[in-house]
Amino acid sequence: MSVTKLPGQHFRLGILAIDGCMLSSIASASDSLRVAQKLAEIRHPGGTLRLESVVFGARGQNEVSTSTGLTLSGLAAPPDDLDVILLPGIMHGSPQELIERIKQLQPEIDLLRAQHLRGVTIAGSCSGSFLLAESGLLDGHRATCSWWLATAFRQRYPAVNLDAEAMVVEDGGMMTAGGASAIQAFMLKLIARAGGNELAQQTARMLLIDPERQSQSPYVTQALMERPRNSLSEKAEQFLKHELHHEISVSGLAEHCGTSERSLLRHFRAHHGVTPLEHIQHLRVERAKALLESTHLSFDEIVERCGYSDSASFRKLFKRATAMTPGDYRERYRLRPH
């Protein structure tokens, strides 16, 4: 990422307004920057650090209608002095609906390509990552998006190296962030680069943002994941659903699906972005998360229901997948009576 400004300089964030965009994406980014600016003024009265944001359109329009139905007016023309352009999330009901919406945004795509050639950092938040990927600028680079859109993203943009577990990814002069609240982690990074780590930390405290969140993994639920729709995927999912509490081999899964291990591996790489074994591990961690949230079973009992016999190894797998210990996860996410 090219933003390396030091305190005492001017940093300007441009937020690209699009019809149907999530108002929270725009407000959160703008307000975070304003809070950081106010804190900088309190810390250093008379200082020269300037953190600014501007909301603009790509079509010469003065206003857009946000996902709430509220109209956002007073849009600026595309500025020529931006350090970073942020693409907000777009409200949608399904990945297919989002992709159809993205296809209609050619003026926005043309603007992104032109700004990227000028050296401006482009950042996509949540479903805004799809717009950035549609421009082709992410091809050959690492990126992330909201976890539940990962399957659709991989299928449409196979040239992008998607890391759907990451909260924020930087690569090739571009940034991508996960779900809507991940924009807060993104803004903290920008504030740190423009005004220093201490200013970013104070902003995080003021806004009650947890700067330690580095992964989307604790929030992932397979129930809301977009699943590939084909016979092989359905056969595999049905088998795994019923046999997850037993020991499962890749060869056994391939045999049940009526295919070779090599074909199964190729299928899982293309449709899930992981190997069959990694997918099985994901499902077992998901089952453990559900049991930790909704039952009082001991961890050893949960491990057994997830098809493992070694509690220590499953504990390591769980922590690697969620960035939390099972105990911490249960304490944070268990269902509590009202």
Asked if residues 200 and 211 have their Cβ atoms less than 8 Å apart, the reply is yes
Q: Rounded to two decimals, what is the model's pTM?
A: 0.69
Q: Where are the domains of the chain?
A: 10-218, 227-333
Least reliable range by pLDDT among 119-128, 230-239, 302-311, 317-326: 230-239
Q: DSSP letter string over 171-224?
A: ETTEEEE-STTHHHHHHHHHHHHHH-HHHHHHHHHHHT--TT--BSGGG--GGG
CATH number of 227-333: 1.10.10.60
Percent helix / strand / coil, the chain, rounded to 5 = 50, 15, 35
pLDDT tens sequence across 192-239: 999 999 999 999 999 888 766 655 555 555 544 555 556 788 888 888
Tokens of 253: 């899964």
pLDDT tens sequence across 152-176: 899 899 999 998 888 889 999 999 9
CATH number of 10-218: 3.40.50.880
Query: Within 13 Å and on the Cβ side, how many CA atoms surround 252?
Result: 10
Confidence of residue 148 (pLDDT cuts 50, 70, 90): confident
